[in-house]
């Protein structure tokens, strides 16, 4: 037998974390890493936030799980908080981002089909999008590498180039149900949607009675310095998927919708055994206690601006290696002039700093939202050392 007990779908690196300490991770062998990946934009509060840990511990000892067949005081309260904080009127809780997107796809289809338009099922999505790894969410992404071996895809998705409003409009037809888009693409390389593009999609959706669905699984929950990224564009969706940071490390997703958009989601149309269980609701409540206020969000914007300024100054020293810095708040990407994976590995293995590679030759910088200037200093020192040693020992 050569297959590993953990199904070998991830090319796992040598880092084997066993303990978290605020913005650092400790490996099995005692190595200490600066974590500017945050479990891919998940650990908003770092790794040892006392409020989050205490809340989970108390809730685990009180009530961990009950069925969605029963009333949920904690679910009611968290949904009400999200409704109060966002465009949404109603929320469905899931266990992951892909499930939140799945629910959003169902909401968009049901909006039309509940009203009798059974021919309207198609969502227009965008090149280099990432929406998850389930069959519907890989079908919603135009990426060959996610499809291979898993054909046939689910019908009902058309792809247009990201930030190309005319191309999206040209795909609208009698089967169109709506648009599904990340306001800021994460895996695709930290690409910001342009204001014209997102505003234009909203206008097209209004004109053609289509659902505008935002996937804010990566860019949402304070990551970009507003509670959700779309707030910075002045554009509101009809439906939105959220996850990653929302549980601060506890697995949780959410599909948010307006009352109008959710008109098809009546009794019996959707469900989840674990979705929104008391433990998850308590964890998310603790995260919102910390991040869902203007002082915290303003600090994310200010910290992001300081980190970005340092990065922009730094890349000027290595014009042959780095091209530019993209992103908003603490969702930043450095575009390299080479494939990023070898550099991400060098930074990790030789300088003990964790970042994440993305498409378009981009290295993602996704620190916990609670970093201070000491973490920025440590990051910049180690990044500079990594760039210097990379040029000497491993020319690009």
The DSSP annotation for 80-109 comes to HHHHHHSS-SEEEEESSHHHHHHHHHHHHH
* 139: contact with ligand PLP by CB under 6 A: no
The reply on whether position 243 binds ligand PLP by CB under 6 A is: yes
- Separation CA 2–CA 330 (nearest Å): 41
**Contact flag: residue 131 with ligand PLP (CB under 6 A):** yes
**Pick from 171, 230, 163: nearest CA to 197:** 163
Task: Give least dist CB 215 to ligand PLP, A.
Answer: 5
Rounded least distance, CB 286 to ligand PLP, Å: 19
State how far the Cα of 306 lies from the Cα of 23, in Å rounded to an integer.
17
Site for ligand PLP contains 362 (CB under 6 A): no
Eight-class DSSP state of 324: E
In the complex, minimum distance from the CB of residue 194 to ligand PLP, in angstroms, rounded to a whole number: 18
Q: Which is nearer to ligand PLP, 251 or 304 (CB)?
A: 251
367 sits near ligand PLP (criterion: CB under 6 A)? no
221 counts as binding ligand PLP under rule CB under 6 A: no
Query: Is residue 79 part of the contact set for ligand PLP (CB under 6 A)?
Result: no
Q: 388-395 contacts: CB < 8 A, separation 24 or more?
A: 389/346, 389/350, 389/351, 390/321, 390/343, 390/346, 391/318, 391/320, 391/321, 394/342, 394/346
Of 28-36, 53-61, 71-79, 93-101, which segment contacts ligand PLP by CB under 6 A? 93-101
333 binds ligand PLP (CB under 6 A): no
Give strand ranges (E) for the chain: 17-21, 24-27, 32-35, 90-94, 122-126, 157-160, 176-181, 184-185, 191-192, 211-215, 239-242, 253-257, 322-328, 331-336, 353-354, 356-358, 362-365
Q: Which stretch binds ligand PLP (CB under 6 A): 63-71, 110-118, 195-203, 211-219?
A: 211-219
Residue 161 Cα distances to 57, 167, 175, 270, angstroms: 46, 7, 19, 31
Residue 215 found at the interface with ligand PLP (CB under 6 A): yes
Task: For residue 130, state whether it binds ligand PLP (rule: CB under 6 A).
Answer: yes
332 near ligand PLP (CB under 6 A): no
Query: Out of 217, 307, 311, 347, which residue is the one contacting ligand PLP (CB under 6 A)?
Result: 217
* Interface with ligand PLP, residue 230, by CB under 6 A: no
Whether the Cβ atoms of residue 322 and residue 335 lie closer than 8 Å to each other: yes
The CA radius of gyration of the chain, in Å to the nearest whole number, is 21
Task: Pick one of 39, 46, 75, 97: the residue that binds ligand PLP (CB under 6 A).
Answer: 97
Query: Which of helix, strand or coil describes residue 294?
Result: helix
* Single residue of 74, 78, 101, 353 touching ligand PLP by CB under 6 A: 101
Helix, strand or coil for residue 265? coil
Which lies closer to ligand PLP via its Cβ, residue 240 or residue 307? 240
Nearer to ligand PLP by Cβ, of 255 and 353: the residue is 255
- Residue 258 within binding range of ligand PLP, rule CB under 6 A: no
* 148-180 exposure pattern, b = at least 16 Cβ within 10 A, e = fewer: eeeeeeeebbbbbebbebeebbeebeeebbbbb
Q: Which stretch binds ligand PLP (CB under 6 A): 14-22, 125-133, 196-204, 226-234?
A: 125-133
- Of 20, 39, 46, 132, which lies in the binding site for ligand PLP, with binding defined by CB under 6 A? 132
Query: What is the x/- site pattern for ligand PLP, positions 167-206, by CB under 6 A?
Result: ---------------x---xx-------------------
Residues contributing to the site for ligand PLP (CB under 6 A) = 96-98, 101, 130-132, 182, 186-187, 215, 217-218, 243-244
């Amino acid at each position: 037998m050569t297959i590993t007990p953990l199904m070998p779908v991830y090319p796992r690196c040598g880092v084997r974390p066993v303990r978290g300490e605020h913005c650092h991770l400790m490996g099995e062998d005692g190595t200490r890493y600066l974590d500017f990946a945050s479990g891919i934009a998940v650990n908003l509060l770092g790794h040892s936030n006392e409020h989050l840990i205490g809340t989970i511990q108390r809730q685990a000892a009180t009530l961990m799980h009950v069925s969605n067949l029963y009333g949920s005081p904690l679910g009611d309260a968290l949904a009400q908080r999200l409704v109060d904080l966002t465009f949404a009127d109603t929320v469905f809780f899931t266990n992951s981002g892909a499930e939140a997107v799945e629910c959003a796809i169902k909401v968009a289809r049901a909006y039309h089909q509940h009203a009798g338009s059974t021919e309207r099922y198609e969502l227009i999505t965008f090149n280099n999008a990432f929406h998850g790894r389930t069959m519907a969410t890989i079908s919603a992404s135009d990426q060959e590498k996610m499809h291979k071996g898993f054909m046939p895809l689910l019908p009902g998705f058309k792809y247009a180039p990201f930030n190309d409003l005319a191309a999206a409009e040209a795909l609208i037809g009698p089967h169109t149900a709506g648009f599904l888009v990340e306001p800021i693409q994460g895996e695709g390389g930290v690409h910001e949607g342009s204001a014209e593009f997102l505003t234009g999609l909203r206008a097209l959706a209004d004109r053609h009675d289509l659902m505008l669905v935002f996937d804010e699984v990566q860019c949402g929950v304070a990551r970009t310095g507003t509670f959700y990224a779309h707030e910075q564009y002045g554009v509101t969706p009809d439906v939105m998927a959220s996850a990653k940071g929302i549980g601060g490390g506890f697995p949780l997703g959410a599909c948010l919708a307006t009352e109008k958009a959710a008109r098809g989601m009546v009794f019996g149309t959707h469900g989840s055994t674990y979705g929104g269980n008391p433990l998850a609701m308590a964890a998310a409540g603790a995260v919102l206690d910390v991040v869902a206020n203007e002082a915290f969000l303003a600090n994310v914007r200010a910290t992001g601006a300081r980190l970005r300024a340092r990065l922009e100054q730094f890349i000027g020293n290595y014009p042959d290696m780095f091209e530019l810095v993209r992103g908003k708040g603490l969702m930043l990407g450095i575009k390299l002039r080479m494939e990023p994976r070898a550099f991400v590995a060098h930074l990790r293995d030789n300088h003990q700093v964790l970042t994440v590679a993305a498409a378009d030759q981009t290295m993602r910088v996704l620190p916990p939202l609670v970093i201070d200037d000491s973490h920025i200093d440590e990051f910049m020192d180690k990044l500079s050392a990594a760039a210097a040693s990379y040029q000497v020992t491993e020319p690009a």
